[in-house]
A and B are shown apart, each in its own frame.
Chain A
Amino acid sequence: MDEILSLLLSVIRLCTPIFIAGLGNMFCERVGVLNLGAEGMMISGAFMAVLGSFLTGSAWCGVLFGLAGGMIAGAIHALICVEFGGLHAISGLGLTIFCRGVAKFMCVAVFGSTYSPNVQAIQTTELFAGVPVVGQWLKQLSPLVYLAIILGFLAHYVIFHTTFGLRVRALGDNPRAVETAGIDVWKMRFIGVFICGLLCGLAGAYMGLGQLDRYFDGMISGKGMIAVIAVKMGNWTPIGIAGTALLLGIFDAIQLKLQISNTLNLSPEMLAMVPYLAGIAVLCMKKKQDGRPMALDTIYLRNRYKF
C-alpha cells in the first residue's frame, strides 16, 4: 500500500510541471501562436526562481521571481510573434537556445559553477499535516501542486465560460473575424502569450523549488516540449491536458522508480529516455486533430507594418 501511494505521489509530483506548462501553452496556442519556446520560458522561470530564493532567502519570493522570469521570456516571444510578424517556430527555437545560454551563463557568473547551491524550497505543505488519515500524504506535496489543481479549474472556467475565453477561442480559429468584431487581436494575442509565459515560469519555479531545491544546467531537458505534446494530445482542453500529463507522469515515475531500485538491471541513461519515447509515442498515436485552432502558427500583422 505504501509502495503504491508513494508511486502515486511521485506521479503527481512529476506531472505537475507538464500540466502547468501545458495550461500556459494551451492559452498560447488558443490565441494562434505556436510556442516552441515553452522550454526556454521554463528554464528562465526555474533559474530566476532559484536565484530569487537564493538572494532573498524566501521560497515564495523565489516563486515570484520565477513568474517574472517566465514573463520576460513570454514577452520576448510575444513581441516577436505578435508585433514583429516573425515566424513562430524560429522565434520559439531561438528563445529556447537563448534562455538556456543565458541561464547557464548567469549560473556560472552568480554561483561560480553550473550547479547552484541548495536554497530555501517549498517541497511540503505543512498546512495539511493536521488533516486526519490522509494528512501525512497530502503534506508531502508542494503547495504549488495544489495551486496547479486550482489553476486547472480556473483555466477551464476562463476558457469555456467567460467572454474573454470566447474571444480567445475565436481568435485561434479566425483572427480576421475577431478583428471585424471590433476586438483588438494583437492585445488579445499579447495577453495569451503573457499568460503562457507566467504559467511556464510557474512550472519552472515548481521544478526548481517544489521538486528540487537548486538549479542546474539541463534540469528542464525536454519538459517544455513534452508540455507542447500534452496540449496537442489533450485536444486543447484543460481536462485533456491533465489526462495526458498524468499519463506522461506515470511513465516518468516508473522510470525513476526503476532507476532507484534497479530491479531490471538497466542502465539509468537507458531508462531516462523512457519519458521522451512515451512523449513521441503519444504524439504519433494522435491522428485526428479536432480541437486544433485553425489559425495556429499564422502571422497576423498590423496593417501599418505592411510594406
Chain B
Amino acid sequence: MKEMDTKQIKAFRGIGRKQVMDIIMPFFLVFLAFLLSSIWITFMGKNPLEAFATLFRGAFGSATSFANTIKKSVPIAFCSFAVIVSMKGNAFNIGAEGQLICGAIGATLAGALFRGLPAPLHIFLCIVASALFGMLFGLFPTMMHRFRGVDLLVIFLLMNNVAEYFLQYFVLDLFKSQNALVPSSRAIEKTAELPYLIGPPYRMTIAIILVLICAVVLTWFFNRTVAGYEMRAVGQNRQAARYAGIPIGRYTTMALLLSAMLAGIAGGLEVLGNYHCLYTEISPGFGYDGIPIALLCNANPLLAVIGSVAFGALRNGSLAMQAKVGISSEIVNVIQGSLILVIASNYFIRYLLNWRRRAK
C-alpha cells in the first residue's frame, strides 16, 4: 500500500476548521455506531435501550464492576498507545493483537522460569521481557516494510494469525500446565504477580498507574523532545520532513518498534496482573480496540486513556448484558466494527452536517 500522504491523514483527522465540530464529532460517531449496533439487538427481539442501560449498569453500577471496567481498560489503553505511536510515525500498526499475544508469552516465560528473585526486580524483568517479545514479533514485518516495501497492513494481519496459532501451540503443548482444569500454561511465580493497589474484593493492581505514567511520558515525548517532534513531523508530512533533513525511514521504523513494545506490554500486564498464567483466550480483540480509540482521540495519548475506559466499560458491561438480557457479548465486536466503518466514512458525515448548516 502507498504511504498515507497528508491528504489522507487530513481526511480522517477531519477537514472542518471549526473546533466545536472536532469535539462533537467523536461523540457523534460513537452514537452512530451504537445506532447501527442496535439494529442487530432489535433484530433479536430485544429492546436496545434496555440492553444498553444494562450494559451501562454492568460497567459502572457498583464499586466492583467499576473496578472491573478499569481492569479491562488497561490492555486496551496500551494497545491504543501502540496505534497512536505508529500513527505519529506515519504508519499504521494493526498487528497489535499479535504483538500483545507475544508479549503475554514473554511475560509468562520470564515469570515462570526465573526463580528466587525479589518481587520488584522480577516484575520489572517480566515487563521488559513482554516488551522485548512484542518488539521482536514486530521486527520482521517492520524490516520487510522498510527494506522491501512490503505492504504493512497485509503482513501485520497475517502475523496476527500466526501469533494466534503460536499461542495455542504454546498453551496447549509447549508450556502447558499439568494440573489445570481449563487448558492453560504454567502459572507464573508469586514474585512476578503485580501487587494490589486496592486489594480484594476489587483486586486493582498497579497496572493502572503504569497506564497513566505511560500516557504522560508519551505526551512529554511527543511535545517536549526532539525525537518526538521529528517523529510527529514525519507522521504529518513526509515530504516536508524529508526536506527538513529528518531521516523518515528511521523514524517510521522506530515508531513501529516502539508501538510493538507497547502492545507487548499490554499482553504482559494481562498475565502479570489478572490471570497469572496464559490462556488461549487471553485477548478478546484488545489489539483491534486500540484502532478506533486512536483514530477518534486524534492520536492524543491522554484522551486515549478516557477512550480506553469507555471501551473497557463496553467489554465489561457486555458480560452483564449477556447474563441479564441474553444478548451475546459478541455485540462488542459488532459495535467495534461499526465504529471503525463509521470512522472510515467520517469525511462524508462531516459533509452532510456541513450541508445542513449551510442550508439553514
A→B interface (CB under 8 Å): 34, 36, 39, 76, 79-80, 83-87, 89-91, 93-102, 104-106, 108-109, 221-222, 225-226, 228-229, 232, 267, 269-270, 272-273, 276-277, 279-280, 283-284, 287, 296-299, 305, 307
Whether the Cβ atoms of B345 and A80 lie closer than 8 Å is yes
Report yes or no: B337 in contact with A284, Cβ–Cβ below 8 A. Answer: no
Q: Which residues of B contact A270 (CB under 8 A)?
A: 165, 169, 173
**B341 pairs with A87, CB closer than 8 A:** no
Residue contact B92 to A89, C-beta cutoff 8 Å: yes
Whether A90 touches B340, Cβ cut-off 8 Å, given contacts A83-B348, A232-B151, is yes
Q: Is the CB of A90 within 8 A of B333?
A: no
Interface of A is mostly: helix
| Cβ–Cβ < 8 Å partners of B166 in chain A | 269, 273
Q: Check if B148 sits within 8 Å of A108, measured CB to CB.
A: no
Contact of A98 with B340 at beta-carbon distance under 8 Å, contacts A87-B8, A273-B162 already known = yes
Please measure, in the bound complex, the distance between the C-alpha atom of A277 and the C-alpha atom of B158, giving whole angstroms.
8
A269 touches B173 (CB 8 A): yes
B343 cross-chain contacts in A, Cβ below 8 A: 90, 94
CA distance A232 to B149 in the complex (A): 13
The answer to whether B162 touches A276 (Cβ under 8 A) is yes
Q: Which of A97, A109, A299 contacts B44 (CB 8 A)?
A: A109
Q: How many A-B residue pairs have CB under 8 A?
A: 166
Interface size on B, residues (CB 8 A): 57
Instruction: Identify which of B155, B164, B339, B345 contacts A86 (C-beta below 8 A).
Output: B345
| Dominant SS among interface residues on chain B | helix
Residue picked from A39, A90, A229, A298, most chain B C-beta under 10 Å: A90
Measured CB to CB, the nearest residue on chain B to A89 is: B153
- By a CB distance below 8 angstroms, the chain B residues around A34 are 1
Which residues of B approach A to under 8 Å, CB–CB? Answer: 1-2, 4, 7-8, 11-12, 15, 40, 44, 92, 94, 144, 148, 150-151, 153-155, 157-159, 161-162, 164-166, 168-169, 172-174, 285, 288, 291, 295, 328, 330-341, 343-348, 351, 354
Q: How far is the CA of A306 from the CA of B334 in the complex (A)?
A: 30
Most chain A CB inside 10 Å of its own CB: which residue of B7, B291, B351: B351
Q: Determine how close the nearest CB of chain A comes to the CB of B317; give it in whole angstroms.
A: 16
Name the residue among A85, A93, A221, A279 with the largest chain B CB count within 10 angstroms: A93
Q: How near does chain B come to A290, taking the closest CB pair, in angstroms?
A: 14
Instruction: Knowing that A305-B347, A307-B15 touch, tell me 12 more A-B residue pairs with CB under 8 angstroms.
Output: A79-B345, A94-B340, A98-B334, A98-B340, A101-B331, A226-B158, A228-B154, A267-B173, A283-B151, A283-B154, A284-B155, A296-B1
